Every structure is written in C-alpha cells, then in structure tokens.
Amino acid sequence: MDSTLLYLIDLFGTAIFAISGVLLAGRIKMDPFGVIVLGSVTAIGGGTIRDMSLGAMPVFWVTDNNYLWVILVTCVLTMLVVRRPKRIAWWVLPVCDAIGLAVFVGIGVEKAMNYQSSPLVAIIMGVITGCGGGIIRDVLAREVPMVLRSEVYATACIIGGIFHTSALALGYSTSSAFLSGVLSTLVIRLGAIRWHLSLPTFALNR
C-alpha cells in the first residue's frame, strides 16, 4: 500500500477515535479540558503503549506533531458541531471506527515485526494499538471497556493480526500481508456491526 495513503488513513483513524472520546466525554458532562484529554487518549493511547512496549522511543506523536493537531482540531470541531444536532445515520461512526481500527491493527503488527518481534507479540501489539486507547478512555470514564464486553471488537483485531502474520510467514510481500490483515479485521468488524454479532458471555450460576 502506498505510504502516503496509509499515513492519511492513519490520521483519519486518529480523528475518528478522537471523536468517540469526545462523544463519551460529552455524555458524562466533562469540561473542555476533560474532553480533549479523553479524545487524545482514545486516539493515541494504544499507539503510545505499543511504542513504549517495543522501545520505539520517542513515541510516534512526539516526532510527528500532525497527530496532535488532528486530535486538537477534531476535538474542538466535534464540541462545536454536536451542539447543533443533525440527522446522521447510526452506522456512520461505527463504520468509520471500524476502518480506523483495522488500519491501527495493521500498523501495530507491522511495527512490531519491524522490531523483530515474534508473530505472537506482533498480534498483541496490533490489538493494543487498535484497542488500547478505547480501554484507557472507558477506564477514565468509569465504564467497563468495550473490549471486555461481548461485542466482537478485540476478536476482530486478533483474527486480523493472525492473517497478517500468517501471510508474512507464507512469504507474501509486506503490502499484501498488511492488506490481508486490514481487510480481515474490517470485514469481521463490519459484519459484527451489520448483524449485531456478539460473543457468548461467561456467567457463574448462583
């Protein structure tokens, strides 16, 4: 995949994740500073944990401030726009989130492999990149993280990471392996959104 296109999609995913943080902050009535904090940790929290775990220092947003500007502008615009309700189809944000998630997972796996990590570690880094920010967001908002509920979210990331690392092991090019991982994550996540799929829950009988 073209590096410029990938970079733009990465920034797009950053903006979408920031919006999800802003919307949650608005729901629990945070002040503007709290809104920006929640939007920021949602957008770059997972990638930050990944880079720190891999020893990729400084982390990506320190060397490329475009991520910070995208987050700041997105948070401010979202705070202004959501005050004027508009009829937006329910599926728009989840679908955009799915696209950002799929790309984030692919980037996490690829970066881990570039640091000579094992396939298992690469898959974990992909999941952390895609889900880490959302976990931090939900914890700060005192909610049970979505990835710990029954929704098919982290599972899609894991399967996408398996496709990605398996394609590399089979000798496919880096671009082909990346696309296979991204597309598999995206298809599974979109399927879960379309058909309201969820995993069975674990409950103890009293």
- For residue 85, what pLDDT is reported? 53
Q: pTM for the whole thing?
A: 0.93
Express each pLDDT in 134-187 by its tens digit. Answer: 999 999 999 988 888 778 999 999 999 999 999 999 999 999 999 999 999 999
- For residue 138, what pLDDT is reported? 92
Express each pLDDT in 186-196 by its tens digit. Answer: 999 999 999 98
3-class DSSP state of 198: strand
CB 24 within 8 Å of CB 141: yes
Interior angle at CA 180, CA 98 and CA 118, nearest 5: 100
Q: Give the residue from 107, 203, 106, 200 showing the smallest Cα distance to 162.
A: 106
- For residue 62, what pLDDT is reported? 97
Q: Give the residue from 37, 57, 38 showing the smallest Cα distance to 47.
A: 57
In the structure, what pLDDT confidence band is assigned to residue 86 with cuts at 50, 70 and 90?
low
